[in-house]
Amino acid sequence: MDGQFLLDAMRFVGAGLAMIGAAGAGVGIGLSVQGALGGMARNPDTYGNLLTNMILGVAFSESIAIYCLVIAFLMLFKVV
pLDDT in tens, the chain (80 residues): 678 888 888 989 999 999 998 998 999 899 989 999 999 999 989 898 899 999 998 999 899 999 999 999 998 887 65
pTM (two decimals): 0.76
3-state SS, residue 34: helix
**Which residue segments constitute the domains of the chain, with CATH numbers given?**
3-77 (1.20.20.10)
Q: How far apart are CA 42 and CA 38, in angstroms?
A: 6
**Displacement of CA 58 from its chain's centroid (Å):** 10
Smallest CA-to-CA distance from 27 within 55, 64, 52, 69 is with: 64
